[in-house]
Amino acid sequence: MAERMLKFISVARKTPEKRAAAERSGDFHEIYADFIDAKATEQASRCSQCGVPFCQTHCPLHNNIPDWLRMTAEGRLEEAYALSQATNSMPEVCGRICPQDRLCEGNCVIEQSGHGTVTIGSVERYLTDKAWENGWVKPLVAGPARGQSVGVIGAGPAGLAAAERLREAGYDVTVYDRHDRAGGLLIYGIPGFKLEKDVVERRTRRLADGGVAFKLGFEVGRDATLEDLRAKHDAVLIAVGVYAARDLTVPGGGSKGVVPALNYLIASNRQDLGDTVAEIESGELNAEGKDVVVVGGGDTAMDCVRTAIRQGAKSVTCLYRRDKANMPGSMREVANAEEEGVTFEWLAAPRALSGEAEAVTGVRAIRMRLGAPDASGRQSPEEIPGGDFDRPAQLVVKALGFEPENLPEQWSAPDLKVTRWGTVKADVRNQMTNLDGVFAAGDIVRGASLVVWAIKDGRDAADAIHRYLQAKVGAPALIAAE
C-alpha cells in the first residue's frame, strides 16, 4: 500500500481539464471534463494518509476520504465508490458543487505544507459517475414494510436524503413539493454549468423506482394544511429550505428591472430544462444585450453573474461591500467568473438605483473600506466620503441571501414555533419541533447553508424519525391509541 500512496512530492496537483472561457461562456454545460482513469488514480495517490485526517473531520458528512482515496489509487474503484456513498446520499452532487476549498480540500494537510491539496471533489465526482456508468449504483430496496408512513415536505437535498434513508428502513414515504420537478434548488437554483440536471434527475428516479411517492406541484397551505399531513402520516419532516429573498434597501429599489436572484436563476434553469419561460421571452429575466449588475458576494451571486454572461449580457458587474479575501463565495467560482469576463467591484455597495419611466438604467455605488471589527471579529465595511461612482444597468439582480418564509402563517399552523429569524425551532438532540411527530431539517432550521449540510441534516432527521416511530410502536396499546 505504502508505495501506492504519499506521492504528493513527486506528483503535482492536477484538476480535470476545464473548457476555455470563450467556449464555455456560450452554453450551460458543465465546465470541467471527467478525469480519465489513470489521472484519477494518480491524483488519489497523492494523499498522505494522515493519522488524523483533517479532510474528513472538516467534511460535514465525515466522509471516509483517506480510505476511498487509497482504494482509488489501488484501482479498487467499486469498493471506493461503495465507501464514498456509505455516508453520502449524493456524492456526485457534492463532488461538483461543494466548496471543497473551504471544507475538505481547504484543510488537507499537504495543502498546508505547500504541496497543493488532493483533488478530493474531482475524485469523488469521478467515482460516482463511474459507478452510474458501470451499474454499481444499486436500485433503492425498501426494508421490510413497517406499516407506518412519513410525509416529507420539500424535495431538496435534505428531504431527498431523508426519504432515501427512511424508505431503506421500510417506511412508506411521500415527498411533497411545490415545484413540478423534484430536486429543489439542485434543479432550479444551481445552473447547469455547475450541476447538469440529469445528474439530479437520475437520483430522484432511483427514489421513485424504489417506492418513494412524489406529489409535485403540491403546496402546503393551499392543497393541505400541516395538520392534514400530520393526520395522514405517522411523522412529518419539514425540509422546505429558505426561499424569501433579502431586499435591496436603497432608493429606486422597486424599479422595473430589479429582480431577486432566485427568480432569475429559476427562470434560466427552466429554460435550460426545455420549458418555455414567459419572463425570458419578454426579456424581464433575460440579460441578453443588457448591462447587468449583481449585488452580493456569495455563491448565488456567482451563479447569477455567470448566468448573465451565458445569456449574452453586454456587461456584467458584481458589487460586493467587502474585499476579495472576505468573499463568502467559493474562490474557485470567483476565478471562473473572472475568466468569463465578469467585472468585480470589491469594497463597493449600492447607494441608489436610477431609472426612467420606472425602469432601472443604472446603479449609483460608493467605495467602502474595512473599519473596526464587529462583535464576531469581522471588520465592518464603512463608506469612503466622496467615493461615489456609477454603473449602467438595465438589469439589477439582488443576491443578498435568503430568509425563511412565514410557515406558521402560510401553512395555517400558528402553533409551529419558529426562532426570531423565522427558522423552524427544532430540538438539537432529535430534530423534532414543538409539535409531536413533526421534525425539521436543512436550511429551514440552520438558515441558508450548503447542500452538504442539508444532506447531513436529512440523514440525521431520518434516523431521529426512525427512533421516534420505533418507540411509538413499542409503547403500550393505550398510549399508542392516544
Query: What are the tens digits of pLDDT across the range 38-54?
Result: 888 889 999 989 888 99
Separation of alpha carbons 93 and 356, rounded Å: 43
Which amino acid makes up residue 476?
A: P
The backbone torsions φ and ψ at residue 352, rounded to the nearest 5 degrees and listed phi first, read -165, 160
**Per-residue pLDDT at 144:** 95
- Which cell numbers hold the place of 204? 430522484
**Count helices and strands in the chain by DSSP H and E runs:** 20, 15
Spell out, as residue ranges, where the chain has pLDDT lower than 50. Answer: 1-3, 475-482
Q: Give 339: exposed, middle or buried? Use CB within 10 Å, 0-12, 13-18, 19+.
A: middle
The answer to whether 258 touches 360, Cβ cutoff 8 Å, is yes
**Per-residue pLDDT at 4:** 67
Beta bridge mates, 245: 402
**Per-residue pLDDT at 323:** 94
DSSP calls for 315-360? EEEEEESS-GGG-SS-HHHHHHHHHTT-EEEESEEEEEEEEETTEE
Strands 235-238 and 359-373: unpaired
**Per-residue pLDDT at 435:** 98
What does each C-alpha distance from 440 to 88, 223, 412, 463, 469 come to in angstroms? Answer: 19, 20, 17, 12, 15
| Residue (of 417, 401, 239) closest to 320 by Cα position | 401
**Per-residue pLDDT at 253:** 65
Per DSSP, the three-state class of 176 is strand
Strands 172-177 and 149-153: parallel
